[in-house]
Structure 1
Amino acid sequence: NGMFCTICKDLVDGLENLGEQTAMDYLQDASKELCDQLPYANIQKDCYDYIMTIAQDLLDLLNDQINGDVACTAMTLC
């Protein structure tokens, strides 16, 4: 869970500073960038695919004014 916890918190930090980009666009771009830092292509793809499967739930939690640490824990990523 450590890897996904770190990625989740990085994504949440970025969501708090959004400009014109929509939250989902940001998540797609940022998760690709973060997952691409992992060592193997298959792990990078699994990372990105997993984040995209939970993206809407994560956004819903954040829209409910839950802070990032709580949201990432609620998603069982931390």
Structure 2
Amino acid sequence: MRTLLLLAAFFTISLSIALPPNMQAGGGLFCTVCTELVKDAETSGEQDVKAYLTKEIKAFCDTTGFLSTTCQAAFNSVVDQLCTYINQKLPPDVCCQKVGLC
């Protein structure tokens, strides 16, 4: 019984470290990255915002190690919406809030 409790405690602690508690709400894991990506996309002069974002998202997510898949999924699921908001000239923080990354 004691071993089971220790194992459960270890498992819970491991998950709390491995899985960030809040990846999306204000100040979430990808909030700062999202706002920087949007700022860069707005000032890049690129005509194809989606291609620019997709390239930059891949480059960033490739640096995140074991979070790479989570990172790609988080950004790829909202890239079309981000493009729409960027084209509407919304501020970066608003763009990222609207897609749920901040």
Please state which band the TM-score falls in when normalised by the shorter chain: 0.7 to 0.9
Match in the other structure for 1:7 = 33
Q: Does the 8 Å CA contact 2:31/2:101 hold for their aligned counterparts?
A: yes
Aligned length, in residue pairs: 76
- Contiguous gaps of at least 5 residues in structure 2: 1-22
Larger Rg: 2
TM-score, normalisation: structure 2: 0.65
Q: Does 1:51 align with 2:59?
A: no
Q: Measure the CA separation in 1 of the matches of 2:46 and 2:87.
A: 17
* 1:11 and 1:27 in contact (8 A); partners too: yes
Aligned to 1:30: 56
Name the CA distance, whole Å, in 2 between partners of 1:50 and 1:31: 10
Matches of 2:79 and 2:94, distance apart in 1: 15
TM norm structure 1 = 0.81
Q: Please list the CA deviations of residues 16-71 of structure 1 after superposition, one character each: whole Å capped at 9, or x if unmatched.
A: 1223462111111100111122131xx20221132112101111112122110111
Q: How far apart in 1 are the matches of 2:65 and 2:37?
A: 19
Aligned AA (2:38)? V
Contact 1:7 1:31 in 2 (8 A): no
Unaligned runs of at least 5 residues, structure 1: none
Question: Relative CO higher for 1 or 2, CA cutoff 8 Å, sep ≥ 6?
Answer: 1
Aligned counterparts of 1:21 and 1:32: Cα–Cα separation in 2: 19
| Structure 1 residue ranges (4+ consecutive) displaced by more than 4 angstroms after TM superposition | none
